[in-house]
Structure 1
């Protein structure tokens, strides 16, 4: 048993995503504006990153020990070259970052700084070098147990049995009693909201994209008695994948399954008597979840194809596209109409796109403008007063955009009473498609212009939120629903790298991924051990699912270690 001790830190890495623990952080001055009272309550990221770093340190010690004992040897590979180039740009972007503390340790609520990124690369090498080939199943079992636990937690949350929420709410309640009337922080996931121990349903999607593909392929290709175990696990993973309604995760799975079906169609047909029942079970699980969620899940998945259709067509509706500010007027540009609020001394009147007066009624009890034309019904419009200055309030049913008329012109009035300037925003024109992908296209349209400054070096690991135009209050109101939201990630793993690490570093990462996939695809066919071949194939397509989901999701400390660990393990199998 002691001879297997070197595997312990490697196996424990798979359990890092399960960590949920409170950490209260007093933020430095350059971050205080992002959080209420300058305090960050972290339950999902901080200790995950710290424990990961500790486990990676012990794994590295294990690697060095085995190298010294000549128990393993490092084989040279051209695959390492782009990976080391990627590491070089991580280091250089950190050294030259304006925010070295953030670059090194990570942004609050994320904590994926240079130390964690460096640990990912170490994880790849450790898993590729340290284990003996006969220990592959032990490591795989650790991954499967972790996936099973997160899957069960996800299922419980879907049935509104959420002990994670109870823990966090209890902690927050104690804090708020200490600061009664000064601070109010809410953590209230909606009914049947699945986030497991990963903070956000999108990350459950990325996690389950990996876990489901691995268990599904192991079930399909395995001829041993373990097939029933893999089948049960795959059903749990599928349940969690659908219940979390992450379209990114579902899309990743769809692409991986299609590629797998093309690659192994003969084996699938050969084992169809096993494949057909599991597919029927998946269908029943989907119908069950969709029924309990009042078709919400089905509508969410359907919206994926609706978004794809809108992306390739010029379909429009009457959405509010833009809010333009002039000296004495606020101009609302809808797809098919325009509404102008004109401030003339103490009078306010409305005009259309032809500068013709638009009639309205005014509810003096609510201070609300009521328009008869249904074209303008997307919003509600109010007028108020703040420090003897008129405030035009636009309400979208979720939050307000407060436009205050000052002597210098219109500005934004925040919920805390702070008056902010309306500054120009560098963006690309996406022709009214900003809301696609749950607002991802909006975020990309404001993120891509940042790349012109990161062609060589990025701003620094995990510094994205500090450079995204958070002052785009109008854009965030229009396309994300609220002007006060903090955009701390681009919802695209590759764009995230290009901004934080730099374009050259990102190209190195992409070259590494491409070379790795090509090498893996070729090497899989040379494996003589059927059990190792099955494991390798399952990991290969799971990594594809993760990489596809990465087009819409970010790299996070909750999921990324699995990608690098399984990638390293597969490299070990194929390079043995």
Structure 2
């Protein structure tokens, strides 16, 4: 029985290593046949997916075997007693209830295109925590999991840095064949990261690279700054530098904010030790500075100004950063009104007439398609131009990089939105951030439209991965103002906490906040004056910093299958270590 038990533990540990090592790295094309509900929003029955679908498939497969083996382990050994199970159980139950109550059950089960965080994935995340708490309970086990993580992180960092300098293996003919089934090679040209000099790596979005590197980078930095041996100091220093380069290449402000937060935790918790070993901090931050400069990173002011010193649209306009803001887009009785802080247009739109009021335009007539190109004299009209087609009853307004198309149909003026569907010009409900909607690359706009959704998700959410179905996609005016494109689909809130609150409910969010907060607070109390000669204390501080970095980045990023499994395993390791450290 002992042999069987030891073998079982080894299998479980191998499974954890597989998840933490390979899930972020998986990248392979799959043509996903979407369901009817997702297709309504996505406007395509086939979703071309390189980054998320197979990560979801492999994660769920690994989670299934993890569950089976762990249940056998519990049968043989029982389960550790800890108060961390309660919030995890509350969240899991509410996620399941939200799934049963969900209107879009197909999305709940399959996941939304490009995301695929369905109910089974969410439950798999919590399983990782429980398994890590029970299985990883000695130095050898921690070392095994972390070695697997750092090997994966090293490979991803090298790939990302090469990608930044346009030497991406996946952009070569050999690389394309690695990630594309036979006969579908031409789809690789649609990879968005090729030649962009920004790191997407295998994670689809540079912001997700930011979440990953802030978390794993802080873990490596924490081990570097407290290392007791020269060889480990050197290795962790190299890895920290590579991961910092990975982060800078992603240009993710969210990731950088998380990295700063994690660094503060590390420096404070290790302050007594670092007073004697300050030279290593001086060296690593000198290297970080050189990396920052070498990779032609943006100014710190550009990275932090939005968060630390937010400015209104009007202030950004006066400082010359943006064109005069759009202040009004409305219609009444067949009259369209378009207004910025410098210019105003009133346009009559009828079934056989489109006419500008009180202005004399310069017309350029194109007889081929019966479109009139219209511009106006005057400095205030410099960035405005129009195209009208009276026969088809439409008008296009081009304003700098913004463009909007208006139609007159059935006695009302409509604007083209996503998939060229037509929507009435109406204001949607919003809460907060007025004048600051551009904050965080227009994240504040999304948040202001998301907050009103929470009144319906206090106890039960709309269902895992269903956020996009409830965001007011018909807010064409808001999208025009703050995204420059009324056709864009908002499929995520760019905020981990709002994502949870909408999908599985506010109470489920409170359960997670209690879980995370309890761990961070317990770690802070346990390690704040700890002796760093103990491996438990050194690793405990590094894990605490990593969790903090991810959660801070989560204010601007979402949970995603490329990164979240790594976070939940690290959280499980951190919780397990606090239990060990308390028991000495």
**TM-score, reference length from structure 1:** 0.89
Instruction: Write the mapping of 1:177-576 to structure 2, written as runs, cut at 5 A.
Output: 186-189=190-193, 190-224=195-229, 225-290=231-296, 297-299=297-299, 302-306=302-306, 308-311=308-311, 315=315, 317=317, 318-335=324-341, 337-343=343-349, 348-350=354-356, 357-365=358-366, 367-385=372-390, 388-398=391-401, 400-413=403-416, 418-422=421-425, 424-428=427-431, 430-524=433-527, 530-576=534-580
TM-aligned CA distance change 1:229 to 1:321, over 3 Å: farther
Give the distance between the partners of 2:182 and 2:394, measured in 1 at CA. Answer: 35
Give the distance between the partners of 1:146 and 1:426, measured in 2 at CA. Answer: 44
1:264 CA displacement? 2.3
Q: For the Cα contact (< 8 Å) 2:348–2:355, is it kept in 1?
A: yes
Secondary structure of 2:453's counterpart equals helix
Q: Which runs of 5+ in 2 are unaligned?
A: 1-5, 318-323
Q: For the Cα contact (< 8 Å) 1:164–1:197, is it kept in 2?
A: no
Q: For the Cα contact (< 8 Å) 1:422–1:471, is it kept in 2?
A: no
Secondary structure of 1:400's counterpart equals strand
Root-mean-square deviation (CA), in Å?
2.8
Q: Which residue of 2 aligns with 1:22?
A: 29
Give the distance between the partners of 2:487 and 2:467, measured in 1 at CA. Answer: 17
Question: Deviation per CA, 1:406-446, whole angstroms, max 9, x where unpaired?
Answer: 23211134686654444552223532222221111111111
Q: Which residue of 1 aligns with 2:142?
A: 136
Secondary structure of 2:48's counterpart equals strand
Q: For the Cα contact (< 8 Å) 1:401–1:474, is it kept in 2?
A: no
Question: Deviation per CA, 1:255-314, whole angstroms, max 9, x where unpaired?
Answer: 221233233223223212222121111111111111xxxxxx315861531454235897
Does 104-113 or 395-404 show the bigger shift? 395-404
TM-aligned CA distance change 1:500 to 1:22, over 3 Å: same
Give the distance between the partners of 1:377 and 1:86, measured in 2 at CA. Answer: 54
Q: Which residue of 1 aligns with 2:82?
A: 77
1:32 CA displacement? 1.9
**TM-score, reference length from structure 2:** 0.88
TM-aligned CA distance change 1:108 to 1:62, over 3 Å: same
Give the distance between the partners of 2:39 and 2:238, measured in 1 at CA. Answer: 47
TM-aligned CA distance change 1:311 to 1:209, over 3 Å: same
Q: For the Cα contact (< 8 Å) 1:23–1:42, is it kept in 2?
A: yes
Does 483-492 or 60-69 show the bigger shift? 60-69
1:379 CA displacement? 4.0
1:209 CA displacement? 0.5
Q: For the Cα contact (< 8 Å) 1:396–1:481, is it kept in 2?
A: no
1:463 CA displacement? 0.4
TM-aligned CA distance change 1:536 to 1:98, over 3 Å: same
**Equivalenced residues, count:** 556
TM-aligned CA distance change 1:519 to 1:429, over 3 Å: closer
